[in-house]
Homo-oligomer: A and B are copies of this chain.
Amino acid sequence: MSEQSSDGSSDFCPRFHHAIELIGKRWTGAVLRALLRGPRRFNELLGAIPDLSDRLLAERLRELEGEEIVSRHVDPGPPVRVAYELTASGKELETALTCVGQWAERWVAPPKRKRTA
């Protein structure tokens, strides 16, 4: 039922465009994937994603909160504990992220790493 135009302009979908660039933004995919396993504290996320800085993790989480994909929960403690979790819309990204993961397993070369044994 989608409209088609002979010049191909109907190829473009602003909502798809927004979504793909949102989840594919540097580090965002990795953060979402980590959160698919359940709520995580800031330092747990930081520890789970190699080479991600505090500053960038904070920025990405803020963006995801702004998009209502992640919500932030504060337990006043003490000690204060802040956890992040996927909202309903965030959880529904699982299928898409799983498909990307399956494609990657098939087509992306595994990284070279040192063998330790």
Q: Is the interface of A mostly helix, strand, loop or mixed?
A: helix
A101 vs B93: C-alpha distance in the bound complex, in angstroms?
11
Find out whether the CB atom of A11 lies under 8 angstroms from the CB atom of B24: no
Find out whether the CB atom of B111 lies under 8 angstroms from the CB atom of A14: yes
Identical chains in the assembly = 2
Which residues from chain B contact A92 at a C-beta distance below 8 Å? 103, 106-107
Known A11-B49, A49-B11, A50-B12; judge A20-B107 contact (CB<8 A): no
Q: A36-76, CB under 8 A of B: which get 1 and which 0? A: 01001000100111100000000000000000000000000
Q: Which of A64-117 contact B (CB under 8 A)?
A: 89, 92-93, 95-97, 99-111
Which residues from chain B contact A30 at a C-beta distance below 8 Å? 11-12, 16-17, 20
The contact sample of 5 A-B pairs, CB cut-off 8 A, is: A7-B47, A16-B30, A17-B29, A20-B28, A24-B24
